[in-house]
A and B are shown apart, each in its own frame.
Chain A
Amino acid sequence: MTAVHSVDDIPSAETVETAVVGRTLRQIAFNRIKHDKVAIACVIALVIIILLALFAPLICNLFNVDPYTFDSAAISDSGGLPVGSLGGVSMKHPLGVEPLTGRDILARLLYGTRVSLMIAFLATTIVVTTGVLIGIFAGYSRGWIDSILSRVMDLTLAFPFLLVVIAMSPVLEQRLASLGIPAGNASRIVTLVLLLSLFGWPYLARLIRGQVLSMREREFVEAATSIGSGTSRMVFKELLPNLWAPILVYATIAMPGFIGAEAALAFLGISVQPPTATWGAMLEESVGYFTVDPFYMFVPLTMLLVSVLSFNLLGDALRDALDPKADRT
């Protein structure tokens, strides 16, 4: 006789438990990151840098330094180089002083960190949000909306970034002024962030659009339709959660990109206005002193290198950790 197996024979919970040791991608990724020494080091470095930036005023108080005070005593009267070795490192100025002005490098570095990170962070946030939203929208709508959005992306990408940024900063600043944001550093930062974002979003939007196009073909999207889901549920609940991996990876790579862009713009003299410090501005200035006061360059360069490396390596680690194919033949 044929034994009748009904649903009751379906494996009990216990067998499932032992049979499938499944973990979510998030858990797997977290686990992989936890075991990745490089990634951990990066996270620590970034946390330290961010803390330094957040608590800049506090730390400066602690050392009794500030980024704007000129200290004529700390520099020589002939040539304006810092007095003392290692760029004027002393009790009073733990990381030395800036040539010509005697402003404290530690303080400038910390406040510069704030500005640089803020620019990079804001730009990344805007780029990621707009890029993701537009990318999802284009990919999900397909048809003429997609065509138009894609052309806009092409067009934006076809603009020579640096030129437009340089030319547009004064214009934008003026517009902002008419909106009530007075010219000055606040508006400079806003301008920079807006311009960096303006040219940053199409890359991500394209990436996301591609992902969405292929994800649309996955059946869970259709399954969502089949139960009657609307567009907003589709975009925010079904698609978006599946895009975190590329978004996260992109964001960690974009951050250092923007930090570097700020430095390049500083070199061309269109970053934040002095006396406000940024990493880029400090580096740009210190390059000239490289032969006579190498320590001056060493300080911001180290910061830049550490943060760029950390973000990039972390991005790599994340990508590896989030890659379901990793470590398989």
Chain B
Amino acid sequence: MSDVILSVKNLSVEFATEDGVVHAVDNVSYEVKRGQTLAIVGESGSGKSVSSLAVMGLVRSNNATVTGEVHFGGQELVGLDPEEVRKLRGLKMAMIFQDPLSALHPFYTIGEQLIEAVQVHEKVSDGDARARVKTMLDRVGIASAEQRMDEYPHQLSGGMRQRVMIAMALINSPELLIADEPTTALDVTVQAQILELLRDLQKEFGTAIVLITHDLGVVADMADDVMVMYGGQAVEQAPVRELFYQPQMPYTWGLLASIPQMHTSSLKLDPIPGTPPSLINLPVGCVFAPRCTHKDLVAGGLCLTTRPDLGAVSDTHASRCHLNEAQRIEIRRSRNIGKVD
């Protein structure tokens, strides 16, 4: 399918540490189409960032091993000459990082950093590059761009910095944009501005976006497809509406139930008990089983002994769970999760 710009198959990332091997990403596969948005959600430490860094070829520590396949625009990136991957970075695929202040170099002006991003891929005169940067900054809504270009990151507000990061990522009109929690550091009003901006730009350039976030509201707002990660694994993958309305996996349920709702009046929240698993000693069975309140419904303690496959619920929907369909519907109904017909 020519529409698919990024296709990840069986991606695994392991870190050898003094405490043991960290399975940060475990056999993750997904696809993103041009002009579409894939959201990756999951608890902190579930491997969202690492999996994206692996796609970008930015997992660089000595102790890391990356396996699997990453097809980007028809090219296989894993095992490719790092120099070739570098040439793609920033040009065809770009990334926005979580904390815009620490992600910008404190000692160079915004202009310098953006111009560098242009000139590294293209022979452009300083003047032209500057003009292009200015246009882009205007585009992401930075007022008086000309003047801002000569300022340093610390002189900008958080929202502006995030816009600069976005401008930097989009300056070479990449085909793929990975946004790693682009609004977590910002407050809601600015977050709304940024999301609006991303949406506009996506429309304009047809960029595919991988959006990492833990804010399900943002997901609901932005995503076409969603991947839920837990303990380094993809535990559920579905189009956005299906995920919210027909979630199939207890962890996803837990997530949805934990959100204090602005517009509903549930008084008591329904948190997931326990804490996320250590990625060194993953449970043998379902990674979520130790915290799952429904594991007893599955006969023979299967949840604790056998890891469920990422089973297809429909063409577009897959989840990892031993519960059968009837049980799932029953639980969702009883916990009032999603839309149960």
Interface residues, chain A, with chain B CB atoms under 8 Å away: 1-5, 9-11, 15-16, 18-21, 31-32, 35, 327-329
Contacts of B64 in A (CB 8 A): 329
B278 → A minimal CB distance (Å): 6
Task: From B266, B268, B276, B335, give the contact of A19 (CB < 8 A).
Answer: B276
With A18-B290, A31-B18, A35-B18 as contacts: A1 and B278 at CB distance below 8 Å: no
For chain B, residues 286 to 305, give those with C-beta under 8 angstroms from any C-beta of chain A.
290-291
Let me know if B273 and A16 touch, CB within 8 A: no
Q: Which of A3, A11, A18 contacts B335 (CB 8 A)?
A: A3
A2 and B273: CB pair below 8 A? no
A2 and B18 form a contact (CB under 8 A)? no
Minimum CB distance partner of A1 in chain B: B334
25 of the cross-chain contacts (CB-CB < 8 Å) are A1-B334, A1-B336, A2-B266, A2-B268, A2-B270, A2-B336, A3-B334, A4-B268, A5-B268, A5-B269, A5-B271, A11-B291, A15-B290, A16-B275, A18-B278, A18-B281, A19-B274, A19-B276, A19-B278, A21-B281, A32-B18, A327-B17, A327-B18, A329-B60, A329-B61
Partner of B59, one of A9, A18, A21, A329: A329
Chain A residues, CB < 8 A from B268 = 2, 4-5
A2-B270, A20-B278, A21-B278 known, 8 other contacts, Cβ within 8 Å: A5-B269, A5-B273, A15-B291, A18-B281, A18-B290, A21-B280, A31-B18, A327-B17
CB distance from B87 to the nearest CB of A (A): 22
B84 proximal to A (CB < 8 A): no
Q: Are the CB atoms of A9 and B273 closer together than 8 Å?
A: yes
Docked pose: A32 CA to B17 CA in angstroms: 11
B340 to chain A, nearest CB (A): 13
B63 within 8 A of A: yes
Q: Please name all residues of chain A whose beta carbon is closer than 8 Å to the beta carbon of B281 when the two chains form the complex.
A: 18, 21
Residues of B in contact (CB 8 Å), total: 26
Contacts A32-B18, A327-B17, A327-B18; A3 near B278 (Cβ below 8 A): no
Inter-chain contacts of A19 with B (CB < 8 A): 274-278, 290
Inter-chain residue pair count (beta carbon < 8 A): 56
Q: How far is the CA of A5 from the CA of B131 in the complex (A)?
A: 58
In the bound complex, residues from chain B placing their C-beta under 8 Å from that of A15 are 273-275, 290-291
Give Cα distance in the complex from A291 to B158, angstroms.
Answer: 68
Residue of B nearest to A28 (CB): B18
Contacts of B266 in A (CB 8 A): 2
Smallest Cβ-Cβ distance to B335: which chain A residue: A3
**CB proximity of B256 to chain A, nearest CB, Å:** 12
| Inter-chain contact A21/B19, CB cutoff 8 Å | yes
Closest chain A CB from B132 CB (angstroms): 32
Instruction: Return A129 CB to nearest CB of chain B, in Å.
Output: 34
Closest 8 CB pairs of A and B: A329-B61, A11-B274, A19-B275, A15-B274, A9-B273, A11-B273, A4-B268, A21-B278
A21 CA to B280 CA, complexed, in Å: 10
- The closest CB in chain A to the CB of B60 belongs to A329
Q: Point out the residues of chain A lying under 8 angstroms from B18, CB to CB.
A: 31-32, 35, 327
> What's the Cα separation between A2 and B276 when bound, in Å?
23
Alpha-carbon distance between A96 and B111 when the two chains are bound, in angstroms: 70
Closest to A10 in B: B273
Q: How far is B59's CA from A193's CA once the two chains are assembled, in angstroms? A: 50
Q: Are A328 and B273 in contact (CB under 8 A)?
A: no
CA distance A165 to B17 in the complex (A): 49
Distance between Cα atoms of A1 and B335 in the complex (Å): 6
Question: A16 CA to B275 CA in the complex, in Å?
Answer: 7
Within 8 A of A (CB), among B233-289: 266, 268-271, 273-278, 280-281
Question: What is the CB-to-nearest-CB distance from B112 to chain A, in angstroms, rounded to a whole number?
Answer: 25
Q: Measured between alpha carbons, how far is A19 from B281 in the docked complex, in Å?
A: 9
CA distance A5 to B267 in the complex (A): 11
B280: chain A residues within 8 A (beta carbon): 21
> In the bound complex, how far is the Cα of B304 from the Cα of A15, in angstroms?
14
The chain A residue with its CB closest to the CB of B267 is A2
List chain A residues, Cβ under 8 A from B275: 11, 15-16, 19-20
Which chain A positions have C-beta within 8 A of B60? 329
User: Which of A9, A32, A329 has the largest number of chain B CB atoms within 10 A?
Assistant: A329
**A6: nearest residue on chain B (CB-CB)?**
B268
Residues of A within 8 A of B63 (CB): 327
The residues of B that contact A4 with a CB separation of less than 8 Å are 268
